[in-house]
Amino acid sequence: MEREIATTPFGSRPMSLALVAAQREAREIPEGKAVDKWQVYRDLCEGKSLIAIGDRALAVLAGLLSFYPDDELSEDNGLIVFPSNRQLSLRAHGMADSTLRRNLAALLECGIILRRDSPNGKRYARKGRGGELEDAFGFSLAPLLARAEEFHAAAERVRADSRALRLMRERITLQRRDIGKLIEAALEESADGAWASLWKRFRAVVDQLPRKASIGELEPFAAALDGIRDEVDRALNSFINVENQSGNESHSERQQSDSNPDSIFEFEPAFEKARVAAEPQPRREEQPRTYPLGLVLKACPDIADYAVDGISSWRDLMVTAAQVRVYLGVSPSAYEEACHVMGQETAPIVVACILQRAQHINSAGGYLRALTEKARAGEFSVGPMLMAALKANSSLPDTKTG
């Protein structure tokens, strides 16, 4: 039945070579081919930008598909639907008649449907004596069956482009965050480097970022941020290397005494005695792997209130953190496990951050154990926690003098 599509439209509607080509393609559907009509529709909705069809026209197409009795489009079941404009308007959410006609024309122009006009231009079906459908006049859905693979490929391409754009935006967002915070940390610690110049270039790129752009338009911005990030990393690595070289001798002298992972806990049972015993000894800075002491104290200033003589070194911070965990209700075993898993430099920073947000945390001990388990699984880094505390305290007045 579908092989006998009428060649020319009814009335004054013009004929075109494009219509002839569309009709020819519809006649060349492979024998036995069948597709899910709603899957084809979903592919069209996703690939509409490539097919050049609008949302309203797709709403009309959904109405036409709803008149097709089966979920599978196939020539065996016929490919003609013949609703009246009034019925189709109701299925298209009450679309006005003029709008309906305009969107039907758009579907026809894109070759998504075809007309099979009756001699008088009406849409109807003719049945035989046995009640079987002999012929029908209306809209042919044959192009959906013939072009199903084309529509699927268009949807796949749009999905791939969307994913690439999303990854590009993620890349830019991460670079913006990292560069901004790294430069701020370097300026806070007075690290050597052309930070003012890097910051100016960074802001110049960020301020020009378009709100809506294609992946091609975003690529130059991503490349510019990558270049600035490389310069920031080189400057920070150079500064850290210099700092490490100046502290190598101090670290080598105390390597044996600091290698014991349980050494920090000797300060907890008899805090005052340990402080007195430690006073005559030369106090050397134990630098953490990543974050300067000044940055930690700026982000978590409350911990300094618990230090007997203030916090001027990492050893002071570790001693104070061991005492603070008692006030927080953290058990010795929970703190010991945190030090083993996170490291003796990181665990005190975490305690300082917990103390800073103590009023918002129901159980400091349970929270520390949860963070320890995340750290054991490689899912926790103290950096975001520290930066969040720094941001929360950034509105406080600066108490430093000089």
Residue 85: strand, helix, or coil: helix
Do 133 and 34 fall within a single domain? yes
- Measured CA to CA, the distance from residue 110 to residue 112 in angstroms comes to 6
Number of separate domains in the chain:
3
Do 367 and 269 fall within a single domain? yes
66, burial (CB in 10 Å: exposed 0-12, middle 13-18, buried 19+): middle
Question: How high is the pLDDT of residue 63?
Answer: 92
Q: Flag whether 401 is in a domain.
A: no
Task: State which residues form the domain around 286.
Answer: 258-392
Do 94 and 194 fall within a single domain? no
DSSP class per residue in 127-171: E-TTS-EEEEEEEE-HHHHHTHHHHHHHHHHHHHHHHHHHHHHHH
Q: Flag whether 159 is in a domain.
A: no
Residue 59: give its domain's CATH number: 1.10.10
Q: In the listed set 146, 178, 203, which residue is the last one of a domain according to the structure?
A: 146
pTM of the model: 0.51
Q: In the listed set 100, 116, 146, which residue is the last one of a domain according to the structure?
A: 146
In the predicted model, residues of the chain with pLDDT beneath 50 are 1-6, 11, 249-289, 396-402
Do 388 and 296 fall within a single domain? yes
Contact 337/369 with Cβ under 8 angstroms?
A: yes
Do 135 and 168 fall within a single domain? no
Question: How high is the pLDDT of residue 351?
Answer: 93
Do 196 and 263 fall within a single domain? no
Q: Flag whether 399 is in a domain.
A: no
Do 191 and 227 fall within a single domain? yes
Q: Flag whether 206 is in a domain.
A: yes
Q: Flag whether 116 is in a domain.
A: yes
Do 105 and 52 fall within a single domain? yes
36, containing H or E segment: strand 34-36
Do 205 and 265 fall within a single domain? no
Q: In the listed set 234, 250, 266, which residue is the last one of a domain according to the structure?
A: 250
- pLDDT tens for 27-45 read 667 788 899 999 999 999 9
Do 270 and 207 fall within a single domain? no
Do 265 and 245 fall within a single domain? no
Q: Flag whether 224 is in a domain.
A: yes
| Nearest of 173, 181, 175 to residue 386 by alpha carbon | 181
Q: Flag whether 81 is in a domain.
A: yes
Q: Flag whether 64 is in a domain.
A: yes
Question: How high is the pLDDT of residue 92?
Answer: 87
- pLDDT tens for 174-233 read 999 999 888 888 887 778 888 888 889 999 998 899 888 888 899 999 999 999 999 998
- Measured CA to CA, the distance from residue 83 to residue 113 in angstroms comes to 14
Do 124 and 18 fall within a single domain? yes
